[in-house]
């Protein structure tokens, strides 16, 4: 037995021994708490008490860390690792059965749950289009107040927030508005803005100088009369010193959005399902009339095998992506690199390997429809869809 101190008495000494013999962190905490509750507290034991209190606090921290680790080890079934371009199919849950699983199966052949039976967990399939992988995710239907957690809504919304494209599925044989109202509400409450551009505003916090607003373009000057209201909103958010740079015509709601760091901006399309059923043309027309300005709208029917054959092309266009085919010793890669529309040669070099950027000498671009089909270019050359690129290093 380790004698802690002759001042603490045999009872506390025994309790301390029990702590020393304890195996798990939980048991050590329990034993140490018992020891601290019975150890006599006076000048001679002051140091022992303080040290053991500190030990107890450390053990509690360790236990908390252990708990956190085990929580993060449990991977949510709603969290889906992105593979290629991720497209999430969503629909409302007034009446389940909009046709997402049917669509997933039609596009990828991957549905595991029975079509017609509600799937409570996401299902995934891969659609290959010209060697590009589109990951199609069939999400469980979204319920009213999903953003508050109803029907695993928080997990579902968390995943939607990080996808590349939201495919809003609506059953053309049902009331369109009822379905879309619910989905738009839940996405909006989940701080997801669809088919909107982030406001052209930058707010940079500073150490002093109050709130300065700079209207940096001609259009932005039209919003100058909002200056005082903008400042008020910013102050309400606890920011008292900052520079606000405004690049376009803006409204106050955009200032509010700009201060809400939880907002994400995502692209979305609408897919009308069951287009083979009677009277669905009427609903499709309503859908187009109301939403075609904001959304690309597709009518589909798995029964009639009716779905755009150029869906992949449509998605790349919508996401403003281009395909770049790399060439090595005259051999063109089958699988393209997928880059943003504004990509330059330096982005290709970087994507292949960082060292390509460091050792870059020049690149050859082959553009089939151009007057000069083969061109020697530098790092800042702007690329176009389907360019073939060969990078030469020093």
Ligand X SMILES: Nc1nc2c(ncn2[C@@H]2O[C@H](COP(=O)(O)OP(=O)(O)OP(=O)(O)O)[C@@H](O)[C@H]2O)c(=O)[nH]1
- Cβ contacts of 368 within 8 Å, gap of 6 or more: 386
- Applying CB under 5 A, which residues contact Mg ion? 101, 119
Within 13 Å and on the Cβ side, how many CA atoms surround 282?
A: 6
Among 40, 77, 116, 198, binds ligand X (CB under 6 A): 116
Residue 327 beta carbon to ligand X: minimum distance, rounded to whole angstroms: 42
Q: Min. distance of Cβ 187 from ligand X in angstroms? A: 17
> Among ligand X, Mg ion, none, what binds residue 96 when CB lies within 5 to 8 Å by partner kind?
ligand X
* CA gyration radius, the chain: 30
119 neighbors 140 (Cβ within 8 angstroms): yes
Smallest gap from residue 96 Cβ to ligand X (A): 3
Assigned token pair, 140: 């469980």
By CB under 6 A, name the one of 12, 98, 315, 388 that touches ligand X: 98
- Told to check if 135 binds ligand X by CB under 6 A, we report no
Please identify which residue in 78, 80, 99, 159 interacts with ligand X, judged by CB under 6 A: 99
Beta carbon nearer to ligand X, 255 or 269: 269
Does 115 help bind ligand X (rule: CB under 6 A)? yes
Choose the one of ligand X, Mg ion, none that binds residue 259, judging by a C-beta under 5 to 8 angstroms depending on kind: none
Which listed residue (84, 96, 248, 312) binds ligand X by CB under 6 A?
A: 96
Closer to ligand X by CB, 48 or 137: give it. Answer: 137
The nearest distance, CB 293 to ligand X, in angstroms, is 26
Complex with ligand X: residue 97 or 199, whichever CB lies closer: 97
What's the token pair of residue 231?
């400042």
Question: 3-class secondary structure for the chain?
Answer: CCCCCCCCHHHHHHHHHHHHHCCCHHHHHHHHHHHHHHCCCCHHHHHHHHHHHHHHHHHHHHHHHHHHHHHHHCCCCCCCCCCCEEEEEECECCCCCCCHHHHHHHHHCCCCCCCCCCCCCCEEEEEEECCEEEEEEECCCECCCHHHCHHHHHHHHHHHHCCCEEEEEEECCCCHHHHHHHHHHHHHHCCEEECCCCCCEEEEECCCCCEEEEECCHHHHCCHHHHHHHHHHHHHCCCCCEEEEECCCCCHHHHHHHHCCCCEEEEEEEEEECCCCCCHHHHHHHHHHHHCCCCEEEECECCCCECCCCHHHHHHHHCCEEEEEEEECCEECCCCEEEECCCEHHHHHHHHCHHHHHCEEEEEEECCCCCCCEEEECCCCECCCCEEEEEEEC
Q: How far is the CB of 350 from ligand X (least distance, A)?
A: 40
Q: How far is the CB of 100 from ligand X (least distance, A)?
A: 4
Nearest-approach distance from CB 139 to ligand X, in angstroms: 9
Dihedral angle, C-alpha 133, 134, 140, 145, nearest 10 °: 130
Q: Is 19 or 106 the residue whose CB approaches ligand X more closely?
A: 106
Q: Is 91 in the site for ligand X (CB under 6 A)?
A: yes
Residue 96 or residue 312: which is nearer to ligand X going by CB? 96
Residue 303 near which of Mg ion, ligand X, none (CB within 5-8 Å, type-dependent): ligand X
By CB under 6 A, residue 102 contacts ligand X = yes
* Shorter beta-carbon distance to ligand X: residue 219 or 276: 276
Q: Which is nearer to ligand X, 120 or 158 (CB)?
A: 120
Q: Compare residues 45 and 179 and give the one whose CB is closer to Mg ion.
A: 179
Stretch that binds ligand X, among 67-75, 115-123, 176-184, 365-373 (CB under 6 A): 115-123
Based on CB atoms, which residue is closest to Mg ion, 138 or 390? 138
Among 87, 97, 192, 324, binds ligand X (CB under 6 A): 97
Residue numbers 276-315 binding ligand X by CB under 6 A: 276-277, 301-303
100 binds ligand X (CB under 6 A): yes
Cβ contact 360:354 at 8 Å? no
Which residue, 94 or 161, is less far from ligand X as judged by CB?
94
- Selected from 86, 152, 273, 283, the binder of ligand X by CB under 6 A is 273
The CA distance from 203 to 199, in Å, is: 11
Pull the structure tokens for residue 197.
Answer: 């551009």
Strand partners, 324: 337, 387
Q: What is the contact surface with ligand X in residues (CB under 6 A)? A: 91, 96-102, 115-116, 118-119, 141, 273-274, 276-277, 301-303
């Amino acid at each position: 037995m380790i004698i802690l101190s002759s001042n603490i008495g045999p009872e506390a000494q025994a309790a301390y021994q029990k702590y020393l013999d304890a195996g798990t962190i939980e048991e050590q905490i329990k034993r140490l708490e018992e020891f601290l509750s019975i150890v006599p507290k006076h000048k001679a034991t002051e140091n022992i008490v303080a040290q053991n209190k500190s030990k107890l606090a450390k053990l509690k921290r360790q236990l908390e860390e252990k708990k956190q680790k085990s929580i993060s080890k449990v991977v949510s079934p709603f969290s889906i690792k992105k593979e290629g371009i991720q497209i999430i199919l969503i629909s409302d849950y007034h009446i389940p059965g909009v046709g997402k699983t049917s669509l997933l199966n039609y596009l990828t052949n991957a549905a595991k749950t029975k079509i017609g039976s509600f799937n409570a967990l996401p299902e995934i399939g891969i659609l290959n289009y010209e060697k590009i992988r589109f990951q199609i995710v069939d999400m469980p239907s979204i319920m009213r107040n999903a953003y508050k957690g109803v029907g695993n809504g928080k997990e579902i919304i968390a995943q939607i927030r990080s996808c590349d494209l939201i495919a809003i599925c609506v059953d053309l044989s049902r009331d369109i508005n009822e379905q879309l109202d619910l989905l738009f509400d839940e996405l909006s409450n989940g701080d997801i803005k669809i088919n909107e551009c982030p406001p052209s505003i930058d707010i940079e916090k500073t150490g002093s100088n109050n709130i300065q607003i700079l209207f940096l373009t001609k259009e932005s000057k039209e919003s100058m009369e909002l200056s005082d209201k903008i400042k008020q909103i910013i102050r309400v958010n606890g920011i008292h010193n900052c520079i606000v740079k405004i690049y376009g015509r803006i409204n106050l709601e955009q200032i509010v959005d700009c201060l809400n760091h939880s907002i994400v901006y995502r692209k979305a399309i609408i897919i009308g399902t069951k287009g083979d059923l009677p009277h669905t043309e009427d609903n499709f027309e309503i859908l187009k009339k109301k939403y075609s300005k904001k959304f690309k709208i597709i009518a589909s029917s798995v029964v009639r095998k009716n779905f755009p054959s150029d869906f992949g092309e449509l998605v790349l266009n919508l996401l403003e992506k281009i395909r770049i085919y790399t060439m090595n010793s005259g051999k063109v890669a089958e699988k393209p690199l997928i880059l943003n529309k504004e990509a330059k040669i330096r982005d290709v070099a970087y994507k292949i390997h960082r060292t390509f950027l460091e050792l870059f000498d020049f690149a050859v671009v082959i553009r089939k429809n151009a007057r000069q089909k083969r061109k020697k270019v530098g790092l800042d050359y702007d690329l176009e869809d389907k360019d073939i690129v060969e990078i030469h290093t020093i």
